[in-house]
Copies of this chain bind each other. A is one copy, B any other.
Amino acid sequence: MEEEKELLENTNIKPSIARVKVLEYLRNNKTHPTVEEIYTSLAEEIPTLSKTTVYNTLELFENNGLARIVNVGENESRYDADISNHGHFKCDGCGRVYDFRVNMEALETRGLEGYKIWEKHLYYRGICSRCRD
């Protein structure tokens, strides 16, 4: 709450209720929630919240390095307050989206000479160990 407020202020974003709460939600729920999930969770305590505001807020966060969009091959985007380069694993059994550590800087690529890269995204799909048991 206070921490999120500060974080927003340090990024020169006005800490409105919606913004503080969305950021807080993202930092407390590392499940890579969808807009829908964020919206329905927060709508209880912020009855005036609209889904569009959630969209706007997340886009603002993305543009200011406070969140990243996470894409795991669904037709709905997810969001993550962890902006480090890490991988995501989507389990086709339980639907969960897990983090995994990976050294993406070490990846050698062929065919991108002279390209300016500003985002790297890696995701796997399969079955998690819980669902395999």
Contacts and interface: CB of A to CB of B under 8 A. Distances in A.
Contact of A126 (B117, B123, B132): B117
B116 A126 contact: yes
Interface residues of A, number: 38
Copies of this chain in the oligomer = 2
Contact of A89 (B100, B115, B132): B115
Contacts of A125: 117-119, 121
25 contacts: A75-B77, A87-B109, A89-B111, A89-B115, A98-B112, A100-B109, A101-B109, A102-B107, A102-B109, A107-B122, A112-B124, A114-B132, A115-B124, A115-B127, A115-B132, A117-B124, A117-B125, A117-B126, A118-B125, A118-B126, A118-B127, A120-B123, A121-B124, A121-B125, A122-B122
Interface of A: 69, 71, 73, 75, 77, 87, 89, 91, 98-103, 107-129, 132
